[in-house]
Amino acid sequence: MDNEKTVLLGMSPDELKMVVKELGMPQFTAGQILKWLYQHHVRSIDEMTNISKANRELLAARFVVGAMDPIDCQRSVDGTVKYLFPVRCAASGEPSQKFVETVYIPERSRADGNDGVGERATLCVSCQVGCKMNCLFCQTGKQGYEGSLTAADILNQIYALPERDTLTNIVFMGQGEPMDNLDAVLRATEVLTADYGYAWSPKRITVSSVGIKGKLKRFLDESECHVAISMHSPLPEQRRQLMPAEGQMSITEVVSLLKQYDFTHQRRCSFEYICFAGLNDTMTHAREIIRLLEGLECRVNLIRFHEIPDVDLPGADEKRMEALRDYLTRHGVFTTIRASRGQDIFAACGLLSTAVKGKKVKK
């Protein structure tokens, strides 16, 4: 039973040293646990075989690894896989009846006629159950906010992923606002990038945000991961209608902050921009984007709108998106159109929700 036990997944070397000291174990045991967690990905303390049986029993009496397998998955015709992961209760460490969705996106290369998995595989992870931001166009926001994930819950989406060893990139673009759960996000990215953890380059990780005052600056100061900002309109009043978070930190404040940092080397800054027909895809918007981003090394990713219930927003057509892309790029703002993946299993941008999953899925 995991009841009332502390989760080891997500702990740092210093924290594990405190654990083994408190249990009266040799200090080097902390290093052994680290390797079992982040190199060998064990599922139970009993698998840590170079630790004495007596010490494993002592550790297991109060701690648990914290790995939990996904309890459901859906596969898209395009190869995208959406997993449903359980979330632990932060207070007790027990599995709760809350869940998050995680999306695995393999890139496939057809340039040479090969339909196999290519060299890139991205995982879109969640950081909260639901979201407080309530963006008009996002299904997660309609779910409301049900709680933030611990660093262990964030890492578990990677740790227990069946395709873990194929991953090349991670994006914090699933359920929730990363800056609203910044401590846990920073802890998770530390484990992913630290030598004691997964030892990934921070350039393999992108963290998204609508822009949270104070939190965005802290992230930029404390992390070297890429940053992606949800813009969706360069016009403050219109953006406020689409995204209530504009009222707390405007897009002009966000861009002004970003201009204080150097994105001319490996670290990348990008802007996410869902295109709505006749609403934010005009030349007026294009010119304002160019004016707003002048002097900032960045890119813009145009995204197709995926309809959600009870939201009357028309998606821009392909021709209009291509015209917007070309105009922005010609005027110095490198712009791409992001491919939609997993739409048939509601895994595409803005479609993630676990509002009813707790009722439908039983452990």
**Catalytic site residues?**
101, 349
How far apart are the C-alpha atoms of 302 and 141, rounded to whole Å?
Answer: 20
Helix (H) or strand (E) holding 328: helix 318-330
Burial of residue 43 (number of CB atoms within 10 Å: 0-12, 13-18, 19+) = middle
Nearest to 153 by CA among 105, 121, 118, 191: 191
> Is 186 in contact with 178 (CB distance < 8 Å)?
no
> Is 348 in contact with 357 (CB distance < 8 Å)?
no
- How many C-beta neighbours within 10 Å does residue 257 have? 16
- How many C-beta neighbours within 10 Å does residue 260 have? 8
How far apart are the C-alpha atoms of 186 and 208, rounded to whole Å?
Answer: 13
Nearest to 325 by CA among 296, 350, 304: 304
> In the numeric block, which tokens belong to residue 167?
């991953």
> In the numeric block, which tokens belong to residue 292?
């707003």
176 CB contacts (<8 Å, ≥6 apart)?
126, 127, 128, 129, 130, 131, 140, 148, 149
> Is 68 in contact with 95 (CB distance < 8 Å)?
yes
How far apart are the C-alpha atoms of 72 and 87, rounded to whole Å?
Answer: 13
